[in-house]
Amino acid sequence: MADALKAAPPTALPGRRGRLLVAKAWPRYADDIVIALTRMVHTPSGRALFAGIAGSGHTLSIRPPAHTDPPNAIIQPLDLAAAAGTGSDVVIAFDAADWPNAAAPQLPTVDAALFVLFSQALPALRGTADPAAYAEASAVEAEALSLARYLGERGLAPTALEPP
* 67-123: pLDDT as tens digits: 878 888 999 999 999 999 999 999 999 999 999 888 888 888 999 999 999 999 999
Residue 159 lies in a domain: no
pLDDT, position 55 = 93
> Does 48 fall in a domain?
yes
Computed over every residue of the chain, the mean pLDDT equals 83
- Dump pLDDT digits (tens) for 3-45: 444 444 444 444 456 788 898 888 899 999 999 999 999 999 9
Q: Is 28 among the domain residues? A: yes
Confirm whether 161 is domain-assigned. Answer: no
Residue 63: enclosing H or E segment and its boundaries?
strand 60-63
The pLDDT of residue 144 is 87
Asked if residue 118 is part of any domain, the answer here is: yes
Q: What is the DSSP string of 70-137?
A: S---EEEES-HHHHTTT---EEEE--GGG-S-TT-TT--SHHHHHHHHHHHHHHHHHT---GGGGGSH
Residue 160 falls inside a structural domain? no
Residue 139 included in any domain: yes
**What is the residue range of 119's domain?**
2-154
The pTM score is: 0.84
Domain assignment of residue 127, yes or no: yes
Per the structure, the count of domains in the chain is 1
Amino acid at 121: A
Q: Name which of 79, 160, 164 is nearest 115 in CA terms.
A: 160
